[in-house]
Amino acid sequence: MILGQFGYIASICGVIMGICTLKGYSLLAKGISMKGLVISAVIMIIMVYLSNMFSYGLAVAEVAEVDIVSALLAVPSLVSEGIIETGTYYKDLVMLYIFTGIGAVPTIRDYLKK
């Protein structure tokens, strides 16, 4: 999440999150089923959204000099009011989803082949 502050490193983290979520589920559940793939996909979708929000929350906390909880709670309203540039916020979110997908899709394909 903090790595989101470093631009391209966040993309690498997205790929790693996609792979590790699926591999972790597989190891802990001693295998993976279609249900496991769906659960893993839901976890990835939620975590990518939260990591993007946390990244912006850190920036808001730093700029506004408020605590992180207040900053995190303010992010959605700051985006809707246009204080945080909407285009940039959603571009970053989409890019994180794309890179997470780049990590997840080949791993899912491998599990479906088995």
Question: How confident is the model over 13-66, as pLDDT tens digits?
Answer: 777 877 888 888 888 888 888 888 888 889 889 988 998 898 899 989 999 999
Task: Pick the most confident of 20-29, 33-42, 68-77, 89-98.
Answer: 68-77
> Could you give the number of structural domains in the chain?
1
Per-residue exposure over 94-112, b if at least 16 CB sit within 10 Å of its own CB, e if not: ebbbebbbebbeebbeebe
Confirm whether pTM is higher than 0.95. Answer: no
Tell me which residue range forms the domain holding 50: 2-113
